[in-house]
Structure formats: C-alpha cells, structure tokens
C-alpha cells in the first residue's frame, strides 16, 4: 500500500479527491479481498509495459487479448492462476452466440442483431418463481452485444474453436432462435490434461490460448492484480496496474503448479510488479462469487457456507471490481443478482466441499483430492433426504435447481413481448427434466431455523442416507469419493451419533440436535409406509432410512455465475458514479454489470468489443 500524500490537503482536494476516496475506502472496508489504497502514488518505475494490459485469461480475457493484438496493440495478460482459463476452461464450453452466425445459417436458423436485442430486452419473460429475467438488462450493453454477437462467433472460429451441433439451448440468450453451439473436444467429458477440471471448456480456451501466443500476446501468470493506477485517485486516465506474485503449490508439497504451456510466459518472480498500459487496462477478472462479503452486497443470504462453481481451480474474488471502485467506478444492474439458476444451484454431487462437479482422478486438478465428490445423480434424490443445520427436512428432495426458462425452447408458445409469456412456465429445465414449482433453493436459503447473529446464515444442507441406499445405488462411500478428513462426509451407526458428528463441520455454527435427526428420519419412514409425503409432497417416498451405517453428505447449494458488476457502456468502457467514462479502463464478462446472461456468449463478445476498443483508445473523457 502506498503512503498518504504528505502535502497539506486543501478544500478543493478534499472535495474532488479525499472525500471520494474516503467514501470508497469506507464502503469497501472488510470486503475480504485486498482493498486497494486509492491514495497510492503512481509508481516511480514500471517493470513491464504494453499498449493493452488485460486482467484475467478466461472467457473474456483471451478474446480481448487476441482482438487487441489483431488491431495492432502489444498485449500483456496478467493472470492470478498458474494456468490460463478461469471458469472458462472448467465450463461445458457451449457458445451462446447468434444474430446470424455462419453456424446458424448452415442449420437454417434465421436470426439477426435486432432479434437478439429484442429477445434480451423482452420485459415479458418471467421465470416461474416470479423473477423477470431480462427486465433489468442495460439496453446500451445489450445493443452492443446484439450488434457484435455474430462477429464474435466468426472471430472465435477464426482463432481455432471448432463447433458441433448442440444438444439443447441453456444459454439464457433469448427465446426466439437457437443460439447455442458446443465445442468439439476429443473424448467429450473425459478428463483431459488440457483442462484442469476435465471440462469441455478446454476446447475453447486452448485454441484461443494457442492463437494468442502465436500472435504475440505475453502472459504474466501467478500474478494477482491488486490495484489499478490512475492519474489521480478518482480523476484522469488509467495508467496501468500493480500485481503481486502469488504462486500456488501442489497440495502438501513445495512444487509450484505449472501452466500447460510455458512458451510466451513472462518469467519475473518479483514480489510486486507495476505494469504500464499505454492505451488501456481491461478488467476480465471473472466476477465476485468467491468473495463472500462482496456477493452479500447483492444477496445477503449468500453466507460463507455456499461454495463456488469454479473453485478450487479458479477464484472470482471481486478484485477487478474493488480495484475499479477504488478509482471511482460504479456498480450497475444490481437487480440482476437475484435467484437465478446459475447464481444459486442445487447440485447432484455431494459429500465433498466442491460439489459443482465431480473432479475426475485423471484431472490435473486431482491433487486437490478433496474436491472429488460423490455423484448421486438425479434419480438418487429418491434414496435420500435433505436436512437443514438443525436436522429437519425442508423440501421435496427430488425438485431440481432453479429453472432457467430463458433459453430457446424453454417456454412453450413464446411470443416476443406478449403478456401471456408472464404466465407461461418453462416446460423443462436444462437437463431436460420436467420442472414444476422450484422449491428447493428457496427453501434452503429461507430456512433460518437455528441461525445465529450476526449473519443468520441458513447453514449447511446435509444429505442423509443409509447403507441400503448406498448398496442400491452402488455409491462408493470411501475416500477420495467423499471427504471424511475435512468434515464434508460423516458415517455413524446411529442417527443420533451422525448428528453429533455433523456438528464438527466448520460451517455448522449450531449443534444439530440428535433427537431432531432421529425424529425427522422416523417421520420420513412413516411416509414410506403411508405412500405419501405429508410435509413436502415428495412423489411417493419409496425407501426407508433404517439400515446402519448412516451417512451425512455435504449438499449445500453452490454459487455459480456473477450477474452483476461494474457499470460499462456499449464500448465496454467503465463508467464512474456520475456516468462518465474512466479513460483507459474497460471491462467485460462476469465482472461487468448490465447483463443477466450466463456464460461464454456475453463474456467472449465483451472481450471482443473491449479488446478492439482498448487497442484504439484515445484520451477522451466523454461518452
């Protein structure tokens, strides 16, 4: 952190600089990630420099870097992780892009930029639980997406991504045309050394990485951007950034985790570096879902027990947002943060901390052994019950995650702009499962029984089953499939003992009363005899939980996407609290606000837009 200025502060300074910086610092105190010091001096010496400096190498950062390079700019990508990709490389990699792409034309799908824009601003699209999906989208940002959508698709193809026909559309990218295509990867869904998590997103990221390196983009890996330098704390141009060396090591060893490719990486290993951006800095750092205090600005219920989809490979720590806010940037479109399928998800993997997906043993991520998890699958919910932190059921366990409802084909008889859409229910979720009342996550987050001040956290959700269920479903309940060591899976001969064991988990802030769990299971078993769930209407409860040993597996909902962030305009320039451009600062992807849209579509498109504009940035402060 830099020292405060030593000269006396006059009244004008206080109003224009000190007060604003003070407000920002106060507002951000205690947010978890490093809060940059807005009063820091511009560095005396730059360690590195390029025309455009990109923060992050995921679904936004790589397209941004390539596009800027294509436009003639020199580019450095600063990446906190030991390898590129972020959430993008863990993803399924489907590309929700339309507006008249060559792929759409090949498949006879009619689409246009105007149609994309109309879809993404259609006020009439309302999810079954009452959330208006597109209503709070920023019109300027959506217009830019619509206008650049098809060009982004062709750009991605030109930079090495190969696509195949999609199985379904889950892209929340409009309902009137199919705008989804999936990448081709050898051995689809098989853990691949190309991807740290075995995800198909490697089929997007690795070609883009190869193209970026071939075109001369340089990568500074293992460096975490901590601060963005501006001419003065809340005025003038952005000049560059400061980053610190934070290598990650193989668990239990001193061996540094290495990137898949090393040629083209800048090897510096200084504790702190200042990187000058001659034209612009692009924030592509992937959002805020891993920063508990920051995500709770938008939804206070997202307390620490909720884990994050991309962890433990990639962390969305809100550092891009915090650094930008400390030099005056505004947040935007925060109404978009509410309960959406990918903001808060129920998963089918239980029994380990990171339950978004089952990390495969061949994955290079597998050294994080505790990340693996027991995949109980959709039919598995008939064989278990879910209980809250005080050992009580709260829902029909067979219910899915929050419905999507805003992808092509998910609302029956969709008519753009029709008031009838507000009454229509999605007929299937993204897994093709018939979806009715989406109770699960609501209930999980709303159940405050046993919660304690100051946060009143809903606490963990525990999935309870017995030895008979494990045998029926052929679940392997031994490590590394389950995490006994860290307290995400427990085994006991009695339900009372199981409740006592569960109390050892670090997120279990209150003891689970043993009598509660025993009574809950006894009541559920009585519903099996009755053939009816009198409490939550689970369809015909079939299996009693009465054969020891008994198991408790971590099943707490997961945060996935960030759908709100920094205010940007259609050129992806970051705006301040007065709506003025912060010269030389751009943002796209999950760190940007104004788009309630999942995934690669908006991220790659905003990378494309920001990279092109950053490369041509000239000193202007007007919109």
What residues line the site for ligand FAD (CB under 6 A)?
55-61, 78-81, 85-88, 90-94, 96, 201, 224-225, 284-287, 309-310, 314, 317, 319, 356-357, 561, 589-590, 598-600, 603
Residue environment code for 554-578, b if the CB has 16+ CB neighbours within 10 A, otherwise e: bbbbbbbbbbbbbbbbbbbbbbbee
Q: Which is nearer to ligand FAD, 583 or 589 (CB)?
A: 589
Smallest gap from Cβ 475 to ligand FAD, in A, equals 22
Strand order in the sheet with 95-96: 95-96, 180-183, 163-164
Could you list the beta-strand ranges (E) of 175-261.
180-183, 218-220, 223-232, 235-245
Smallest gap from Cβ 201 to ligand FAD, in A, equals 6
Q: Is residue 416 within 8 Å of 118, Cβ to Cβ?
A: yes
Smallest gap from Cβ 118 to ligand FAD, in A, equals 21
Smallest gap from Cβ 465 to ligand FAD, in A, equals 25
Residue 245, helix vs strand vs coil:
strand
Q: Which is nearer to ligand FAD, 101 or 505 (CB)?
A: 101
Q: Which is nearer to ligand FAD, 61 or 113 (CB)?
A: 61
Q: Is residue 370 within 8 Å of 486, Cβ to Cβ?
A: yes
Q: CB-hemisphere CA count at 13 Å for 151?
A: 13
Q: Which is nearer to ligand FAD, 96 or 207 (CB)?
A: 96
CA distance 581 to 621: 6
Smallest gap from Cβ 401 to ligand FAD, in A, equals 13
Q: Which is nearer to ligand FAD, 58 or 487 (CB)?
A: 58
Q: Which is nearer to ligand FAD, 319 or 330 (CB)?
A: 319
Smallest gap from Cβ 36 to ligand FAD, in A, equals 10
Q: Is residue 614 within 8 Å of 280, Cβ to Cβ?
A: yes
Q: Which is nearer to ligand FAD, 167 or 471 (CB)?
A: 167
Q: Which is nearer to ligand FAD, 291 or 501 (CB)?
A: 291
CB-based contacts of 545, cutoff 8 Å, min separation 6: 384, 385, 464, 465, 466, 469, 521, 524, 525
Q: Compute the residue count for the chain.
A: 623
Closest CA to 153 of 620, 464, 608, 480: 608
Smallest gap from Cβ 315 to ligand FAD, in A, equals 7
Query: Which residue, judged by CB position, is nearest to ligand FAD in the bound state?
Result: 58
CA distance 92 to 114: 28
Smallest gap from Cβ 231 to ligand FAD, in A, equals 21
CA distance 617 to 67: 13
Smallest gap from Cβ 55 to ligand FAD, in A, equals 5
Q: Which residues pair with 491 in a beta bridge?
A: 551
Q: Write out the H or E segment, with its range, that includes residue 502.
A: helix 495-502
Q: Which is nearer to ligand FAD, 305 or 317 (CB)?
A: 317
Q: Which is nearer to ligand FAD, 310 or 514 (CB)?
A: 310
Closest CA to 485 of 325, 357, 368: 368
Smallest gap from Cβ 205 to ligand FAD, in A, equals 8
Q: Which is nearer to ligand FAD, 354 or 490 (CB)?
A: 354
Smallest gap from Cβ 355 to ligand FAD, in A, equals 11
Smallest gap from Cβ 286 to ligand FAD, in A, equals 3
Q: Which is nearer to ligand FAD, 299 or 311 (CB)?
A: 311
The encoded tokens of residue 163 equal 């696509």
Residue environment code for 367-394, b if the CB has 16+ CB neighbours within 10 A, otherwise e: ebbbbbbbbbeeebbbbbbbbbbbbbbb
Q: Is residue 423 within 8 Å of 417, Cβ to Cβ?
A: no
Q: Is residue 399 within 8 Å of 345, Cβ to Cβ?
A: no
Q: Which burial class, exposed, middle or buried, applies to 420 when counting CB atoms under 10 A from its CB (0-12, 13-18, 19+)?
A: exposed
């Amino acid at each position: 952190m830099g020292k405060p200025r030593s000269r006396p502060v006059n009244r004008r300074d206080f109003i224009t600089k000190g007060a604003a910086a003070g407000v920002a610092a106060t507002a951000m105190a205690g947010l978890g990630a490093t809060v940059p010091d807005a009063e820091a001096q511009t560095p005396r010496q730059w360690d590195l420099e390029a025309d455009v400096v990109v923060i992050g190498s995921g679904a936004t950062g790589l397209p941004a870097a390539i596009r800027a390079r294509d436009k003639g700019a020199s580019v450095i990508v600063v990446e906190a992780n030991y390898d590129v990709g972020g959430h993008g490389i863990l993803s399924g990699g489907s590309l929700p892009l339309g507006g008249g792409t060559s792929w759409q034309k090949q498949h006879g799908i009619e689409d246009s930029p105007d149609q994309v824009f109309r879809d993404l601003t259609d006020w009439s699209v309302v999810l079954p639980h009452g959330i208006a999906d597109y209503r709070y989208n920023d019109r300027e940002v959506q217009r830019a997406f619509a206008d650049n959508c098809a060009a982004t698709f062709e750009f991605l193809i030109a930079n090495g991504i190969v696509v195949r026909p999609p199985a379904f559309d889950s892209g929340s990218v409009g309902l009137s045309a199919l705008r989804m295509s999936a990448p081709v990867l050898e051995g689809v869904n098989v853990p691949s050394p190309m991807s740290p998590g075995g995800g198909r997103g490697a089929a997007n990221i690795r070609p883009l990485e190869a193209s970026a390196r071939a075109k001369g983009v340089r990568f500074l890996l293992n460096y975490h951007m901590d601060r963005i330098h501006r001419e003065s704390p809340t005025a003038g141009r952005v000049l560059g950034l400061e980053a610190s060396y934070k290598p990650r090591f193989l668990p239990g060893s001193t061996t540094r985790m290495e990137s898949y490719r090393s040629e083209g990486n800048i090897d510096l290993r200084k504790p702190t570096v200042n990187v000058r951006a001659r034209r612009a800095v692009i924030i592509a750092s992937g959002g805020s879902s891993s920063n508990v205090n920051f995500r709770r600005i938008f939804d206070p219920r997202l307390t620490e027990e909720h884990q994050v989809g991309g962890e433990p490979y990639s962390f969305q720590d809100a550092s891009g947002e915090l650094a930008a806010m400390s030099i005056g940037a505004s947040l935007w479109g925060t109404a978009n943060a509410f309960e959406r399928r990918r903001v808060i998800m129920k998963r089918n993997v239980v029994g380990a901390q990171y339950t978004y997906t089952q990390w495969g043993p061949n994955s290079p991520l597998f050294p994080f052994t505790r990340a693996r998890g027991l995949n109980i699958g959709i039919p598995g919910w008939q064989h278990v019950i879910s209980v809250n932190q005080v050992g009580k059921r709260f829902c029909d366990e067979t219910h899915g995650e929050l419905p999507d409802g805003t992808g092509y084909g998910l609302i029956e008889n969709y008519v753009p702009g029709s008031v009838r859409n507000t009454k229509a229910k999605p007929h299937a979720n993204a897994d093709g499962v018939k979806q009715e009342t989406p109770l699960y996550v609501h209930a999980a987050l709303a159940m405050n029984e046993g919660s304690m001040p100051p946060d009143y956290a809903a606490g963990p959700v525990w999935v309870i089953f017995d030895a008979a269920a494990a045998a029926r479903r052929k679940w392997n309940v031994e490590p590394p499939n389950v995490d006994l060591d860290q307290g995400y899976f427990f085994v006991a001969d009695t339900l009372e003992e199981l409740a006592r064991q569960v109390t050892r988990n670090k997120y279990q802030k209150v003891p689970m009363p043993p009598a509660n769990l025993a009574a809950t299971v006894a009541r559920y078993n009585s519903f099996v005899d009755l053939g009816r769930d009198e409490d939550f209407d689970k369809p015909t409860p079939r299996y009693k939980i009465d054969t020891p040993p008994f198991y408790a597996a971590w099943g707490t909902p997961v945060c996935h996407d960030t759908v709100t962030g920094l205010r940007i305009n259609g050129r992806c320039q970051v705006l301040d609290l007065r709506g003025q451009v912060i010269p030389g600062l751009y943002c796209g992807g999950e760190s940007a606000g104004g788009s309630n849209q999942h995934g690669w579509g908006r991220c790659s498109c905003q990378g494309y837009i920001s990279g092109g504009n950053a490369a041509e940035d000239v000193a202007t402060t007007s919109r």
